[in-house]
Structure formats: C-alpha cells, structure tokens
Amino acid sequence: MKLVGVDVGGTFTDVMYSDSVDRKVIIHKVPTTGDDPSRGVMTGILELCTRNGIDAADIDYVFHGTTIATNAVLEYRGAEAGMITTKGFRDIIHIGRHQRPQHYSIMQEIPWQDRPLVRRRHRKVVTERLAPPNGAVLVPLDEDEVRVAARELKARDVQSIAICFLFSYLNSMHEDRARAIVLEEHPDAFVTTSSSVVSQFREFERFTTAAMNAYIGPPVRNYVQQLDKALRGAGMRAELRIMRSNGGVATPATISEFPVLTLLSGPAAGVLGGAVCGALSGRRNLITFDVGGTSADIGVTNEGVFSEASARDTTIAGYPVLVPMIDIHTIGAGGGSVAYIDAGGSFHVGPRSAGSVPGPAAYARGGQEPTVTDANVVLGRLDKDNFLGGAMSLDVEGAHKVVGEIARTLGLSVDEAAAGIVTILNSNMANAIRSRTVQKGIDPRDFSLMAFGGAGPLHGAEVADMLGIPEVIVPAFPGITSALGLLASELKYDAVRTQFQVSTDLDVARLNTNFTQMERDILQQFEADRVPAGDIALRRFADARYVGQGYELRIDIGQGTIDGPAMQEAFAQFHRIHEAEYGHAFPESPIEIVNIRVTGTAPSPQLEWPRSTAGGSREKALVKVASTKFRVDGALRAFDTAFYRRADLPVGTALSGPAIILQLDATTVVPPNWSFTADPHGNLILTAGVAR
C-alpha cells in the first residue's frame, strides 16, 4: 500500500510518503500557496514522486489536512449565508447565552454579534413548532412560508442556507421537509439542517454549528472538488481522504456536505502523529506536547485512546461548535512568546507572540522585544550555526541585547533573566498539563511526554521535571508530525441522539431502538465509502450526568442488546468517572442519560516505519562542545555541553546530558540530570536521571 499524507500549514505544506511493502518513509516540504492551497499540495506530491522515482499513479491514498474551513472562520471570510428558523426565534445565534466573553471590559467584542455567521437580514422565520419529550408536532410547518423565504434569500443571492428549528434533534421531519422545499426553489443552494450536523440539544450551540457549516460550506466544497480534480488531472487514481477534528478522516463527499467537521483538524492530526510515534516505541500513555512559535497544544492519550472534548468546551474563534473533537488544550506559549513588564511592574511571558515577523530579536528581522527564542539563544541552547539545520543564522548579539534590557529592569543578570523567561514559559505549560491530568485524576508520572513542534523538544525535559514525568520522547521528525498523523488516521463517523432518560425510569427499549438505528446510519455511510462491513468497529457511549447537573461525562456502553444489568454497570462506571474527574461522587443520586453516541471506525492501511538498528556513533554524531546554562540544585551554572547531530547518534546507547541534539526541524535539549537514547523506532528517548 502506498500512502501520502499532506498537511497544509501557514508557511509550509508538508508531504509524507509511506510504502508498506518497501517499508520506506520519505518527507518533503514545499511553500504553502495561500490563494489556492491545492496548488501547493499538488506540487508537493508530484515533486516528492519525481525526486524519488515514484509513479504518482501508484499511490493508493492521499490523506489531507486542510485549514480552509478554519481560516475562513478566523479571517471571517466565508459565504454570505442565510437561515430559516422557527418563528419567534430569529436571534438565537445573536443573543447566544446572553453572556459576554469578558467580565471586566466595556470595549470588548462579541464574536457572534460583531461578526455574525448569518446576518439578521438573512435570518427568516417560518411557522412551525415541535415539543419535547418526543418531538411531537405542536404547530405544523407552513410550507408556503418556507418557499417564500427560500425565494427571498435566492433573490438576495444567498447561496448557502442553514435550516434551524427548535427541538429538531428529537424529530428532523420539519427540517428535512424545509430542506426539500428550499432545494426545489433554489436547486444550487448549499443547504444545512441543524439536526443533520449535530442531533443534540442546546439551540444556540446547535444553530451556531449549523450556521458555521453554512458559512464555510461553499468554499470548502469548492476546494475539495478542485483538489480532487487536480489529482485526477495528474493521472492519479488515489482515493482522497480529509482529516477531521475527531481524529478520523472522511471522504470528500462527507466533507463537502459537513465542512464544519474539519475545523481544528490540524492540531488533531498533530496529536495523532505524536501518539503514532509513541506507539512505535510501545508507549500507550502519552501527553502530547506540540509547541510552535505562538502556541502549545496539549493532548492526553490514555492506553492509546484520546479523550474527546466535552461538547460545551469546543469553540473556534470564540464561536461554539458542537462537533466531536479530540480534547486539545491550547495555550499561548511558544518560541515567539514575548517577555515584558507591565505598568504595574509584573513580569509576563506570553500569551502575546512576536510571530515570525518581526519575530524574536535573534531572527534579525526587526524584533525589538525579548522572546523565549532569544532566551534560549542567551542560554546557549539554540546554536547560531545549527538553527534549522543551518538554513538560518541567529543574531546572538541581538538576543543578548533585548534580554539584557529586561534583565536590567528586573535587576537580574542577563543569564538569570533568560533562565527566568524559560522558567515562566515552562511553568505556564506545566500548569496547562496539570489541568488536563492532575485535575482530572490522572497522574502524569505514569505518562511519557511526547515533545514535538519546533519548540517542544527544547522545553520538554524541563517541563517534565516540573511534573515528575520521568520520560520525554522526541519523534524522528518533530516538525512534521501532523503529516504523519494523517497517514495513521482512520475513517471515522459519529452519531449522537439526545435522550434525557433518567436511571430510575429507564426506557431500555428506546435506547436499543436508537442505538440500532444510529449504527445502521453509520454503516450506511461506510457502505457509501465502499468499506466492507467486516472492517468496521462500532463503539457506543453515553453522555451522562446526575439529574439536575448541566455538564455530562462520557461512559462506555456495551455492544448488543442492552438490558437492566448492563445499564447498572454503566451507571456504576459513571460514579467512578465522576469521582475521578471532580474528586467527588453522589452515589445516591439518580443519573440522567443526556445523549447517546456511536462511533464507527474503519482502519486505514497501516503505516510502516523503517527500523534502524545500528545507527552511527557518539563520535560521529558529536558536532562540538560548547557552554550552555542550566539550573541545577537552585543555581544557574555553565556546563560544557556536547552538541550532537541526531542522524548520526548510535542506536540503543544511553548517553548523559547535558546535551543539545540538532536536526533539521527542531533542537532537543537534554538537561544535566537527564540522559537520552536513540531507539530503533526512530524516537529519541530522554530519561530523568543520569545514564547507567
């Protein structure tokens, strides 16, 4: 099987090729083409093939991570969208939860009011009403009103329409009918119904998700069609698969209908890639630590399974979106994070970033403020002559100058200030990891820290020290983990239905009926993708809470017909999870099943990784010995530190820190009290304690 993963980033498009027969992995990087990213994608694939004697027509799959949808939202340039909604509820997506984003601010913006996904003039109301608990029709749909609304929107050249009715998660009949009428009147329209995007209660969040889908639908559909055409035009027969934020991939047909599923798929591919690399070395408990120039993405995989974000915590650009997403915690901390002193005299590092322009002072592009990168230069951890594989030189004097200025203000030496900047950044990142582990009853000391991204390997060991994490893993290509994650992703579909069933009065038959129906829907999607039924794994979950609570926790539900004892086991599980998550349980209280979910996955072809057994030697790898600074036992000291070329390290031999390990896309720092080994799977394993 021949696979290609293509990840489009802000600056570069990364391409990774894998051949399961030859056990070969090849990577390639080309500039991202901003106006039409599919050009960069094609250039990357075809260049990689040409340079390595591969016939593009032999490639079986192209896995693609795209930021088209995400960028359309972040830059507020999606389609002019319309909405048809229940009469009396025109402004649900404008009022939201009547809460403003910031407590202490008069001059703040509210994303959904200042940048509406559907402007009020394009929000049409029609007579209809459904009611709980079963979605009974209280007021029938006025079909003529729908027809008029569709015509009016068409007359105003609105090409994308979201249909959002209250309680449609209980009964999609009115939305489905309205959709059919709209398509009769406006056959070219991109139509989204809220119940088809996410069949879940909470109208503001569901309507916003549907509006988001309408907003980004046309551009994403066009892009996917264009790319597919380009692949065919190049004589390729490869199947295209697009990355989703839930960590799975979907077909172009699915993504063209539900583009909202691709939002934030980039970070999802990253953590997936990190998990794949960890799995190569047999590590199944991982904290992924993806640090770039402006932000750090943190994910947790427990026994090889990613946790999914709670539906109430998933947002993009400040808008809530109710789509399944890997639980990734992002904080504003990275190499470009700026160190500054505020008017009150407090010292801060980030979240503001110098970005790549002007960037850190060490980039000599006009940056005047000290950044984390500058601090690493001052400490000797980033080497002037070996940054980005020597592709770019660093302005050491510039870094010293800006760090020196803040040092004088703080009354510290330049080295102490630099170490302080790094310490504060590390501490912010450690706090973020704590919030995803310790605070949820997970002991990070049982995990490995998977450090990647340009800056992850620079900070991984010191952050691990703060948390008592004994091991840090740096993958073979820390800078292109997303492309790798794409290669390892599965075809994945989710279904969800709101239930509101209470443990003391459970309608088990309804659960069984709904689960069966949801599984049938998912199997149909796979069938449309021509996946054999035998390859599909189905898992069931329920979102549950104590009656009265507002936040749900996810529990596993067994396969087959559900009966009383099976649910008792599920409820016992809920008490345990509640205790772990919050430190407290209410074992006497009844439990409400809010939603039930089914996830179907079909494995993608297995990624094969070249194993290296011999490698080079310490001598061969040694580039130089130079002075770097580390804090040991409270004192900041200079150490003679070995700089190694990663590709030439011996495999399986433990070496002691301090050491700096150089490679094209990242620099790894091994502090004095740590050791490291290049393992046969391409990973670099850093271990707390000296080598024995």
* Of residues 150 and 424, the one with the C-beta less far from other proteins: 424
Is the sign of the CA dihedral 417, 423, 427, 428 positive or negative? positive
Residue 231, CB-side half-sphere exposure with 13 Å CA sphere: 24
* Of residues 121 and 445, the one with the C-beta less far from other proteins: 121
Show the CA angle centred on residue 98, arms to residues 96 and 100, nearest 5°.
100
- Say whether residue 341 binds other proteins (CB under 8 A): yes
- Say whether residue 342 binds other proteins (CB under 8 A): yes
Closest CB 144 distance from other proteins, rounded Å: 21
Give yes or no for a contact between 322 and 308, defined as CB atoms under 8 angstroms apart. Answer: no
- Say whether residue 113 binds other proteins (CB under 8 A): yes
Give yes or no for a contact between 227 and 64, defined as CB atoms under 8 angstroms apart. Answer: yes
What whole-number distance in Å separates Cα of residue 686 and Cα of residue 663? 16
- Say whether residue 121 binds other proteins (CB under 8 A): yes
Binding segment for other proteins (CB under 8 A), chosen from 28-36, 234-242, 336-344, 559-567, is 336-344
Q: Which residues within the stretch 652-681 sit at the binding site for other proteins (CB under 8 A)?
A: none
Tell me the two tokens of residue 182. Answer: 């709209």
Give yes or no for a contact between 84 and 163, defined as CB atoms under 8 angstroms apart. Answer: yes
Give yes or no for a contact between 200 and 496, defined as CB atoms under 8 angstroms apart. Answer: yes
Distance of CA 95 to the CA centre of its chain: 28
Site string for other proteins, 585-624 (x = CB under 8 A): -x--x-----------------------------------
Tell me the two tokens of residue 505. Answer: 């009065």
- Say whether residue 99 binds other proteins (CB under 8 A): yes
Q: State the chain's maximal CA–CA distance in angstroms.
A: 81
Binding segment for other proteins (CB under 8 A), chosen from 64-72, 119-127, 476-484, 557-565, is 119-127
Closest CB 96 distance from other proteins, rounded Å: 8
Closest CB 340 distance from other proteins, rounded Å: 7
Q: Which residues within the stretch 170-209 sit at the binding site for other proteins (CB under 8 A)?
A: 201-205
- Say whether residue 413 binds other proteins (CB under 8 A): no
* Of residues 428 and 628, the one with the C-beta less far from other proteins: 428
* Of residues 392 and 547, the one with the C-beta less far from other proteins: 547
User: Which residue among 33, 36, 43, 89 contacts other proteins (CB under 8 A)?
Assistant: 89
Q: Which residues within the stretch 379-408 sit at the binding site for other proteins (CB under 8 A)?
A: 406, 408
User: Which residue among 11, 50, 108, 517 contacts other proteins (CB under 8 A)?
Assistant: 108
- Say whether residue 368 binds other proteins (CB under 8 A): no
- Say whether residue 132 binds other proteins (CB under 8 A): yes
User: Which residue among 23, 51, 97, 637 contacts other proteins (CB under 8 A)?
Assistant: 97
Tell me the two tokens of residue 189. Answer: 């329209």
- Say whether residue 576 binds other proteins (CB under 8 A): no
- Say whether residue 428 binds other proteins (CB under 8 A): yes
- Say whether residue 530 binds other proteins (CB under 8 A): no
- Say whether residue 76 binds other proteins (CB under 8 A): no
* Of residues 578 and 681, the one with the C-beta less far from other proteins: 578
Give yes or no for a contact between 337 and 328, defined as CB atoms under 8 angstroms apart. Answer: no
- Say whether residue 216 binds other proteins (CB under 8 A): no
Name the E strands within 165-223: 190-193
Is the sign of the CA dihedral 55, 56, 59, 64 positive or negative? positive
Q: Which residues pair with 8 in a beta bridge?
A: 13
- Say whether residue 510 binds other proteins (CB under 8 A): no
Token pair 């450690």 is found at 430
Tell me the two tokens of residue 180. Answer: 């059919």
Give yes or no for a contact between 676 and 657, defined as CB atoms under 8 angstroms apart. Answer: yes
- Say whether residue 441 binds other proteins (CB under 8 A): no
Residues 6 or more apart in contact with residue 626 via CB below 8 angstroms: 380, 383, 640, 641, 643
- Say whether residue 315 binds other proteins (CB under 8 A): no
Token pair 């495999």 is found at 651
| Amino acid at the residue 649 | L
Closest CB 118 distance from other proteins, rounded Å: 11
- Say whether residue 133 binds other proteins (CB under 8 A): yes
